[in-house]
Amino acid sequence: MSFEFRSLMFGILILLIIFLIIADISEVQEEIGNHGSTRKFYPQSFSPKSNRDDGTEVDASPAAETGGSTPPSLGTSSGPPTPEWIFNKTLSNSIRKNILKFLDAERDISILKGTLKPGDVVHYIFDRHSTVNVSESLYRLLPAVSPMKDQHHQRCAIVGNSGILLNSSCGGQIDAHDFIIRHETPQKKKTTPLCNLAPVEEFAGDVGRRTSLVTMNPSVVQRAFQDLSSELWRGRFLRRLRDLEGSVLWIPAFMAKGGEERVEWAVHLILQHALNVRTAFPSLRLLHAVRGYWLTNKVLIKRPTTGLLMYTMATRFCEEIHLYGFWPFPRDLRGNPVKYHYYDALSYEYTSHASPHTMPLEFSTLRALHSQGALRLHTGPCGADT
């Protein structure tokens, strides 16, 4: 084969791939469009090139017009500009009621002592062929009653990890909520560890300090605490756990294989130092139930992110839900780069095809819910708008 011929074939192949990607995208948008009218909160199709501006949040400034190609406008396709966000209690109640048909977060937020015993073999949710034995120490940390039993809060904040929080000055506003959920998101590359598991201290002005519930994927121990390879790292990890004083520590121990040793270390440290944290281990049905709810509402997620999981569960015990640090785009509306996480140097990878999540779809869903007053997405600085 001549060089020219191979170049030509290569070119055609590239064009074909681009075509397939575009076809795939328009298919998704078409589905979104088709069902948009049948569901109350179905996400409007996200249109990166639209410059429509409905005044959502403080981002809706003229600067958004030059915001670059990646972030979609926060505008939705309905109606005149609505600068004020108004909580729609009716809608929020009806969402809660519908979610309750799929899961009861008060129960599914954790496996309880009665339902497992030491030595029980559990199949991982994502790796059905792998199992883990319930250890004596993990069993001791299973709550006897749900850590969220009888909890009702007026205003809850769910704090994501997007770099959009940097320089937002949202810390005070976040801390003013009655219940504050923080979580870490999966990341794949090794990064310079700063701190993790809600690494709030040095970013307190932007992300706040208070935590009522924090999620800890077992992989955090490896990534951020060097797998506790030395006394120094064990000390740091212990300090982080101590900081959680009184909060709920939510550990998805049975989702994906590979984390059992890390879960054991965490569990061991908590027991050894009699730390005052309320551990929770999500029920084995939680993920499917959450996915089921969204699929039924035509939101075709593959695997919900921790953020969407938390929102879905929070509807059970929160009246008004405010989301901070959710921004799955590499640039903000003014075109400035946004870090993937506010606390590390991880490069942008929302578009990774290896990711099991569907972040832009999740985000457009949340944005649609925001514009209908079911929840509030905060995506700009918190200054004047508190």
Ligand X SMILES: *[C@@H]1O[C@H](CO)[C@@H](O)[C@H](O)[C@H]1NC(C)=O
Cβ distance to ligand X smaller for residue 26 or 90: 90
Select the span of 87-95, 215-223, 229-237, 275-283 touching ligand X (CB under 6 A).
Answer: 87-95
Q: By CB under 6 A, is residue 69 in contact with ligand X?
A: no
7, 66, 77, 133: which one binds ligand X (CB under 6 A):
133
**How far apart, in Å, are the Cα atoms of 101 and each of 93, 189, 340, 342, 362?**
13, 38, 34, 35, 21
Instruction: Provide the mask over 48-67, with x wherever binding to ligand X is found by CB under 6 A and - wherever it is not.
Output: --------------------
130 part of the interface to ligand X, by CB under 6 A:
no
Q: Which of 26, 78, 167, 351 binds ligand X (CB under 6 A)?
A: 167
> Nearest approach, Cβ of 291 to ligand X (angstroms)?
23
- H/E segment holding residue 13: helix 3-36
8 Å CB contact between 215 and 243: no
Nearest distance in Å: CB 40, ligand X = 5
Provide the pairing of β-strand 121-123 with 131-133.
antiparallel
Establish if 78 lies at the interface with ligand X (CB under 6 A): no
Distance CA 76, CA 63 (A): 18
Give me the phi and psi of 110, to 5 degrees please.
-155, 145
3-state secondary structure of 278: strand
Q: Name the residue nearer to ligand X (CB basis): 268 or 288.
A: 268
H-helix segments, 41-168? 89-100, 105-108, 136-141
**Residue 156's closest CA among 265, 49, 263, 316?**
316
- Compare residues 28 and 91 and give the one whose CB is closer to ligand X: 91
Contact status: 166 vs ligand X (CB under 6 A): yes
Active-site positions? 357
CA distance 360 to 46: 8
- Quick one: which segment of 86-94, 104-112, 210-218, 358-366 binds ligand X (CB under 6 A)? 86-94
Beta-carbon-side half-sphere exposure of residue 279 (alpha carbons within 13 Å): 28
Name the minimum Å distance from CB 106 to ligand X: 24
Candidates 84-92, 182-190, 241-249, 307-315: pick the segment binding ligand X (CB under 6 A). Answer: 84-92
From the list 33, 81, 119, 246, which residue makes contact with ligand X (rule: CB under 6 A)?
Answer: 119
- Give me the least distance between CB of 272 and ligand X, in Å please: 21
Give the integer Cα–Cα distance in Å for 145 and 149. Answer: 7
Question: Is 309 or 338 the residue whose CB approaches ligand X more closely?
Answer: 338
Tokens of 77: 């396709």
Query: Distances from the Cα of 192 to the Cαs of 4, 146, 340, in angstroms?
Result: 45, 36, 14
Nearest CB to ligand X, comparing residues 243 and 320: 320
Q: Is 88 in the site for ligand X (CB under 6 A)?
A: yes
One-letter amino acid at 317 equals: F
Size of the site for ligand X (CB under 6 A): 10
Are the C-beta atoms of residues 62 and 51 closer than 8 Å to each other? no
- Region 301-340 residues binding ligand X, contact defined as CB under 6 A: none
Residue in 47, 50, 55, 91 binding ligand X, rule: CB under 6 A: 91
Instruction: Using the minimum distance from each CB to ligand X, give the nearer residue, 87 or 233.
Output: 87
Does residue 203 contact residue 228 with C-beta atoms inside 8 Å?
no
For residues 281 and 251, the answer to whether their CB atoms sit within 8 Å is yes
Task: Please give the structure tokens belonging to residue 381.
Answer: 């600085």
For ligand X, the closer of residues 33 and 337 by Cβ is 337
Q: Which residues bind ligand X (CB under 6 A)?
A: 40, 88, 90-91, 119, 121, 133, 166-167, 373
